[in-house]
């Protein structure tokens, strides 16, 4: 849950996403002086570095006092005016309309007049419901999950731009079929009395919320939670800040049990809605913050300034969090990864600075094993499908194991 991705270019302050296609087409980021700063940090990839890298560089640049001050806070500029009006109105029309509707600017206007204010914001959670390869929960039979709600191991601790497409067409397709099969094989009758029981429980809880004579303001709690997460559990993290976050979030969670609601009606009541949702939001926030505090390394979207290295020797494991009834903190456990079953064992991938990795000694051992097995299978005339299955078998329905052709296949 501690792996939270930030997108570099949401429109500020509304938070509406301006696609990475802006920079893909040649748009650039500028600071308060109008300087294009990304080449200073990433001379090779410049503005086209991965979204987590760009987000970190933007925050780093603003920390140096190069951000643009506004009544809403500090931001930077996204300049696509250099692409020209014709290109923008043909290829980035949705971006133009978002800027016009929500910021009152036309990004096709030349010069600073057309620059869009942007600031990195939370975009995607790599964590989710832990599932089997079929998409079914490992602990609750019949519960299937796909997409951002699931931890299906498509992303790991980071997520590349465009992975939502593969998640939709790959995970959605595979898990959808497994779910359909489950429904065919598990016909059940559910008594309406069972449903009524849970409906009545929720109705009683909502009635209890409006009847409480608590003294805590739900909007104050929610706003404080947002500030804590942004300040201590955001793009840059450290032990001191995370410890403060965990301590104060737990206090806020306890306070959320004493919320007082002024509007006592059960219908069309935003205050009641927040009183219902905020305690659950605090639980999720605590799972993220506690997981980030305990994970003493930097990995993917989780960046610890006091532990800058990726530590495969000690932290090659999934974080599993759960919540026992009545507890004020989540239970945090870990599921180790088995390197010796991997087709591509962990190693340096050219991502980040060299030497910023504490390698697991099993990686080299497994890589030698993979190379040896691959060489033998190729010598025996095995095709890439047989080699893949030998190196890392993955349970799939037969229709998805059909052989396809690639350019260069004999």
Beta bridge partners of 129: 150
% helix, strand, coil for the chain, step of 5: 45, 15, 40
pLDDT on residue 395 = 80
Show the 3-state SS of 375-404: HHHHHCCCCHHHHHHHHCCCCCCHHHHCCC
Alpha-carbon gap, residue 230 to 21, rounded angstroms: 26
Alpha-carbon gap, residue 406 to 410, rounded angstroms: 9
Give the CA angle between residues 259, 264, 268 to the nearest 5°: 105
State the DSSP code for 58: H
Find the mean pLDDT for residues 326-334. 96
63 is known as an active-site residue:
no
Residue 124 pLDDT class (50, 70, 90 cuts): confident
pLDDT on residue 50 = 86
Query: How remote is the C-alpha of 332 from its chain's centroid?
Result: 19
Find the mean pLDDT for residues 38-45. 94
* Phi, psi at 245, each rounded to 5°: -60, -50
Q: Enumerate the CATH 3.90.700.10 domain ranges in the chain, comma separated.
A: 4-124
List, for residues 360-398, the tens digit of each pLDDT value: 999 999 999 999 999 999 999 999 889 999 998 888 888
7 is known as an active-site residue:
yes
Alpha-carbon gap, residue 287 to 153, rounded angstroms: 19
pLDDT of 31 higher than 90: yes
Alpha-carbon gap, residue 391 to 281, rounded angstroms: 41
Whether the Cβ atoms of residue 121 and residue 76 lie closer than 8 Å to each other:
no
Alpha-carbon gap, residue 36 to 88, rounded angstroms: 20
CA distances for 259 relative to 221, 252, 266, 269, 308, angstroms? 9, 11, 16, 15, 40
Find the mean pLDDT for residues 292-312. 95
Radius of gyration of the chain (CA): 25
pLDDT on residue 387 = 93
List, for residues 334-356, the tens digit of each pLDDT value: 999 999 999 999 998 777 677 88
pLDDT on residue 169 = 83
Alpha-carbon gap, residue 339 to 346, rounded angstroms: 8
Residue 189 pLDDT class (50, 70, 90 cuts): confident
Alpha-carbon gap, residue 255 to 403, rounded angstroms: 58
* Phi, psi at 158, each rounded to 5°: -145, 170
Class of domain 4-124: alpha beta
Joined together, the tokens standing for residue 255 give 């306070």
pLDDT on residue 352 = 67
Closest CA to 126 of 322, 296, 244, 299: 299
CA distances for 153 relative to 18, 124, 177, 196, 313, angstroms? 27, 14, 18, 36, 20
Catalytic residue among 23, 123, 299, 302: 23
Closest CA to 327 of 287, 278, 274, 276: 287
Alpha-carbon gap, residue 308 to 356, rounded angstroms: 7
The burial class, CB within 10 Å (0-12 / 13-18 / 19+), for 304 is buried
Class of domain 338-410: alpha beta
The burial class, CB within 10 Å (0-12 / 13-18 / 19+), for 276 is middle
Q: Enumerate the CATH 1.20.58.100 domain ranges in the chain, comma separated.
A: 192-334
Cis peptide before 2 (omega within 30 of 0): no
What CATH number matches the domain at 192-334, 3.80.30.20, 1.20.58.100, 1.10.10.410, 1.10.3720.10?
Answer: 1.20.58.100
State the DSSP code for 236: S
Residue 318: enclosing H or E segment and its boundaries? strand 317-322
pLDDT on residue 372 = 97
List, for residues 256-290, the tens digit of each pLDDT value: 999 999 999 999 999 999 999 999 999 999 999 99
Q: Enumerate the CATH 3.10.20.820 domain ranges in the chain, comma separated.
A: 338-410
């Amino acid at each position: 849950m501690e792996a939270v991705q930030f997108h570099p270019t949401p429109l500020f302050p509304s938070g509406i996403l301006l696609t990475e296609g802006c920079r893909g087409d040649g748009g650039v980021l500028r600071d308060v002086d109008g300087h294009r700063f990304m080449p200073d940090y990433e001379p090779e990839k410049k503005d086209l570095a991965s979204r987590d890298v760009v987000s970190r560089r933007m925050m780093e640049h603003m920390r140096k006092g190069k951000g643009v001050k506004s009544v809403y806070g500090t931001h930077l500029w996204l300049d696509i005016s250099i692409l020209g009006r014709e290109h923008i109105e043909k290829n980035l029309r949705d971006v133009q309309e978002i800027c016009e509707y929500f910021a009152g600017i036309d990004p096709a206007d030349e010069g600073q007049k057309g620059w869009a204010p942007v600031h990195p914001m939370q975009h995607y959670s790599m964590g989710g419901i832990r599932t089997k390869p079929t998409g079914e929960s490992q602990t609750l039979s019949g519960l299937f999950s796909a997409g951002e709600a699931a931890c299906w191991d498509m992303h790991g601790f980071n997520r590349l731009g465009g992975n939502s497409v593969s998640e939709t067409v790959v995970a959605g397709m595979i898990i959808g079929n497994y779910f359909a099969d489950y429904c065919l094989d598990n016909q059940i009758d559910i008594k309406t009395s069972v449903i009524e029981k849970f409906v009545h429980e929720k109705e009683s809880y909502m009635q209890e919320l409006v009847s409480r004579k608590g003294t805590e303001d739900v909007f104050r709690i929610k706003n404080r939670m947002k500030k804590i997460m942004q300040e201590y559990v955001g793009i840059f993290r450290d032990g001191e800040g995370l410890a403060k976050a965990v301590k104060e979030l737990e206090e806020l969670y306890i306070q959320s049990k004493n919320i007082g609601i002024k509007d006592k009606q059960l219908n069309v009541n935003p205050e009641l809605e927040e009183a219902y949702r905020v305690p659950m939001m605090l639980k999720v926030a605590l799972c993220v913050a506690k997981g980030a505090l305990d994970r003493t390394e930097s990995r993917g979207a989780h960046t610890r300034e006091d532990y800058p290295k990726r530590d495969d020797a000690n932290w090659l494991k999934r974080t599993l969090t759960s919540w026992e009834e009545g507890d004020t903190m989540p239970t945090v456990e870990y599921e180790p990864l088995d390197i010796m079953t991997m087709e591509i064992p962990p190693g340096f991938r050219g991502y980040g600075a060299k030497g910023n990795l504490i390698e697991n000694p099993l990686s080299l051992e497994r890589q030698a094993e993979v190379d040896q097995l691959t060489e033998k299978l190729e010598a025996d005339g095995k095709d890439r499908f047989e080699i893949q299955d030998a190196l890392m078998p993955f349970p799939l329905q037969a229709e998805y194991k059909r052989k396809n052709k690639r350019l260069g296949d004999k």
